[in-house]
Amino acid sequence: MTQELRLPWDEDPDDLYEHAPCGYLTTLPDGTIVRVNQTFLTWTGYTRGELVGHRRFRDLLSSGGQIYHETHYAPLLRMQDEVHELAFDVVCADGRQLPTLVNSMLGRDESGQPRAIRTMIFNATERRQYEKELLHARNIAEASERRVRVLQQIVADLAAAPTEAEVAESVVRAPEAAFGAASSSIYLVDTERDLIVAVTSTDPTTGNWDDMPRSSARAVARVAERGDLHVVASLTEAKQHFPDLVESMRRSGRNTVVLLPLTTGPTDEHGGVVTLGVLAFSFKGEHKLTDGELRVVRLLGQQAGQALDRARLYDDARRREERSKFLAETTGALDEVHRLQPRIHRLLDRLVPEVADWAEVRLQVGAVPIEEPKGTPAPDTELLMKRVAKVAASGEPIFALEGDPLDCSVLPLTARGLVLGTLALRMAPDRRDAAGERVFLSDLADRAGLALENARLYEQERQIARTLQRSLLAGDLPSGDNRFAVETFYQAAGQDLEVGGDWYDAFLITVDKLAVVVGDVVGRGIDAATTMGQLRSAVRALASNEDGPARLIEGLDRFCERVESARMATVAYAEIDLTTGEIAYCCAGHLPPLLQEPAGSPEFLMHARSAPIGSRAGNLSRTEHRRRLSAGSRMLLYTDGLIERRSRSIDKGFEILAREYARRRDAPLQGLAAGLADTLVGKDHADDVCMLCLSLGTEERIERTIGADRMQIALLRADLRTWLVAHGVGAECRDAVLLACSEAVANAIEHGYRDDPFGMIDVVATVTDDAVEVRVTDRGTWRGPLGDVSRGRGLQLIRESMDQVLFDRSDGTTVTMRRRRGEDDQ
């Protein structure tokens, strides 16, 4: 009974052995199983009979386990007499493998020889599972860590990417590094054009890179609109939802495509999310993304979206900065030129091709409408005119929208609330369209309108000044008197300067007394032109038969007390007695007149000099100088623009003027001043040039030398005509002589000098009581009779119009022609 009264922990050793929570094996040193407990048999499904005396422990192990048994277990046991926690997979009766942990102890007899091995076997099924999970978890953690590293790198790159293009470049590399994708591409949303545009790809041979409308049915557009990640896991799925992907997936061997919207805005799910682009990446083979990967993918979408947003803002800021710089520079460039046409050209030069590939300014103010286009190709005229008319009438701009057949924006040019005209332009292909630039374009048009209006006002004032000056200068100069001839010349300053205050005048004080004057008022513009007019009138009013030049200049000094703007004007004034040929002159601060008498060198008239009109510090004692001039003398009055050049001294200027004047002593009076201006100052000069050349008396014999230039024939004819009139040659004879002389000179130019543009032609004419004789000489080459019909007609005219004609071809050609004076002669 006492045996019945065992305490719960007082166990039966046999039962404990058989049903211990682990397996027990006892084997011989060679491993043959000699004893096994029930627990082990239950786990493995073997019967005791199958094992005991029949199998070795190693026979129960997997093949890998048997090798391990050989290499580790047995040697360790023999050396240490025990081994612990060796992992073996035991092959069960049904072939299943049971993960176990094994401890063994080797028992020895008194002589130390191995006697038996006790082995304890723990079921390690759970533990292995756990270890496996542990390993798996570690793998996941490592993959996730790699992704995080990739993402971190991308985030760093994104932070440094200032433009959309660079953001796209950074993002497009991410899926390969982070998820092992085969390739990826970036699409950006262009909200202004309502398009989605492919911008970059790691493998441009895949996919469809055409721009698509945001409303497109294509997968990229759908995902962009939904704003949420979409995974196309297989071709079947693609066929079902996004047929547009099937073809490119098949072609490039992709089975999984991930479409990730790049978004910005609040991360919570309630709206406000804006899709700026789509990242598409694909895998070869069907690839299942883990939740962790998907989380990272979404994170990437947000990061990239934010970077894009930042880049866009940055782009906007930079564009704004560029625009304001452009506007500022344009205003500056327009300010540099004052006149209307140059300003319009400046504006167009700024716009084309930088902003627009075609632009046009139309101005409707002023007498003549202005229409200045630049660039190509010109748009449809009819459509443009309609739009221009609309804008001009409403004063409201019309911007070209997508698909506009005209493709031109038209903006009003306004100033002070008035529409002056329009600016039409077609944006350059690389610019954003006009609608996107409307603020910029409106700003540009505002500035241009103001600048052009100012130029127009300037132009108007300039025109008034010029008209005033012209009208004052154009006053009738005395002519028709054989005793003198006056030639004048005025050339306004180049470089768009305002009119100056230079003037000339010639008038008869009495029938026998001529006054000539050239002067220069300080300053430019309308004030100078007005003052010039007042001074000119003052000179005419003060000139009298009795007083003479010195008194007249004193009168001008007094005039300055009332007309302050006339102060410091310079004047060269001369009076000529036409009966005696005596002149009296006075120079108030003005350059000395230049005199050429028929014989001798030209001479500057250096007497009777004093300070400018109304000078406060200069010499105001006005004197005059008199001298007698012989018939045929020429006197030149001029302003400083003729000789003053920055590049040479005034002495040099005098020297050149004297030389050029002397060289032209035989040139026709008409055109003489223009020729001097041409040689001395050219066309582009910084000052006005004003000249008056007076020719005195009638030459008995006229001698002229002209260049082989057809333009000079008319000048020669003018001199000859004046001379013939002065000698009372009647109209019929005069016309005949002029015709014959012209033809002879034309002949010399066209025939004798046909290969020599620098040839010179001498013309000498003499008049007697009954005839006029003209001799025309060239040194050109005679080439036999003329085959040219028209020249033949010229020769015919010479012969027909003159009584005697003689050709001498011994040295060049000399034509001597003579005509009797007619009955209408005086």
Partner 1 sequence: MTDQWVTFSRFGDAELVSLTGEIDLANAPEIGRAIVKRINQAGKVLIDLTTVSFLDSAGVRLLDALVGDLYEHGTPTRLVVGERGAARMTLQLCSFREDVLATDLDRAAADLQV
Interacting residues of 48 by C-beta distance below 8 A, sequence separation 6+: 36, 41
Q: Is the peptide bond before 373 cis (omega within 30 degrees of 0)?
A: no
Q: Binding string, 723-762, against partner 1, x = CB under 8 A? A: --------xx--xx-xx--xx--x--xx------------
Complex with partner 1: residue 561 or 824, whichever CB lies closer: 824
Phi, psi of 620 (to 5 degrees): -105, 10
Stretch that binds partner 1, among 136-144, 295-303, 472-480, 706-714 (CB under 8 A): 706-714
Report the residue number, 578 or 738, with the smaller CB distance to partner 1.
738
Of 263-271, 563-571, 666-674, 707-715, which part binds partner 1 (CB under 8 A)? 707-715
- State which of residues 254, 374, 456, 717 lies at the interface with partner 1 (CB under 8 A): 717
Asked whether the beta carbons of 455 and 340 are under 8 A apart, the reply is: yes
Write 368-376 long-range contacts (CB < 8 A, 24+): 370/340, 370/341, 370/344, 370/421, 372/341, 372/344, 372/345, 372/348, 373/348, 374/348, 374/349, 375/348, 375/426
Pick between residue 427 and residue 720 the one whose CB is nearest to partner 1: 720
Contact (Cβ atoms closer than 8 angstroms) between residue 629 and residue 696: yes
Q: How far is the CB of 708 from partner 1 (least distance, A)?
A: 12
Task: Return the SS3 of 164.
Answer: helix
Q: Rule CB under 8 A: which of 778-807 touch partner 1? A: 790-791, 793-794, 796-797, 800-801
| Rounded Cα–Cα distance for residues 83 and 120 (Å) | 10
Least distance in Å: CB of 487 to partner 1? 17
Cis check: omega of the bond before 598, within 30 degrees of 0 = no
In the complex, the smallest distance separating the C-beta of residue 705 from partner 1, rounded to whole angstroms, is: 18
Half-sphere exposure (Cβ direction) of 29: Cα atoms closer than 13 Å: 10
Query: Closer CB to partner 1, residue 595 or residue 740?
Result: 740
CB of 694 to partner 1, least distance (A): 24
The Cα–Cα gap between 216 and 224 comes to 10
Cβ closer to partner 1: 718 or 771? 718
The candidate with the shortest Cα–Cα distance to 770, out of 700, 696, 823, is: 823
| CA atoms within a 13 Å half-sphere pointing along the CA-CB vector of 510 | 11
Q: Tell me whether residue 181 or residue 713 sits nearer to partner 1 (CB atom).
A: 713
Are the beta carbons of 581 and 564 closer than 8 angstroms?
Answer: no
670 binds partner 1 (CB under 8 A): no
Q: Which DSSP letter does residue 2 get? A: G
Which residue in 305, 257, 299, 304 sits closest to 281, CA to CA?
A: 257
Which CB sits closer to partner 1, 234 or 705?
705
Q: State the nearest-atom distance from the C-beta of 723 to partner 1, in Å.
A: 15
**Does residue number 5 form part of the binding site for partner 1 (CB under 8 A)?**
no
Q: Give the shortest CB-815-to-partner 1 separation in angstroms.
A: 14
Kindly tell me which residue out of 662, 686, 714, 806 binds partner 1, with binding defined by CB under 8 A: 714
- Tell me whether residue 123 or residue 801 sits nearer to partner 1 (CB atom): 801
Nearer to partner 1, 57 or 723 (CB): 723
- Give the three-class secondary structure for 584: strand
Separation between Cα atoms, residue 362 and residue 584, nearest integer Å: 56
Q: How far is the CB of 731 from partner 1 (least distance, A)?
A: 8
**Site for partner 1 contains 776 (CB under 8 A):** no
Considering CB under 8 A, how many residues would be counted as binding partner 1? 24
Binding span for partner 1 by CB under 8 A among 271-279, 575-583, 666-674, 713-721: 713-721
Please list, in sequence order, all residues whose beta carbon lies within 8 angstroms of the beta carbon of residue 565, skipping any fewer than 6 positions away.
521, 522, 523, 527, 528, 530, 531
| Alpha carbon distance 624, 570 (integer Å) | 15
Would you say 535 or 802 has its CB closer to partner 1? 802
710 scored as a contact of partner 1 (CB under 8 A): yes
Residue from 14, 711, 769, 787 touching partner 1 (CB under 8 A): that is 711
> Distance between CA atoms of 768 and 764, rounded to whole angstroms?
14
Instruction: Rank residues 647 and 790 by Cβ distance to partner 1 and give the closer one.
Output: 790
- Of the candidate spans 64-72, 418-426, 442-450, 712-720, the one that interacts with partner 1 by CB under 8 A turns out to be 712-720
Q: What is the contact surface with partner 1 in residues (CB under 8 A)?
A: 710-711, 713-714, 717, 731-732, 735-736, 738-739, 742-743, 746, 749-750, 790-791, 793-794, 796-797, 800-801
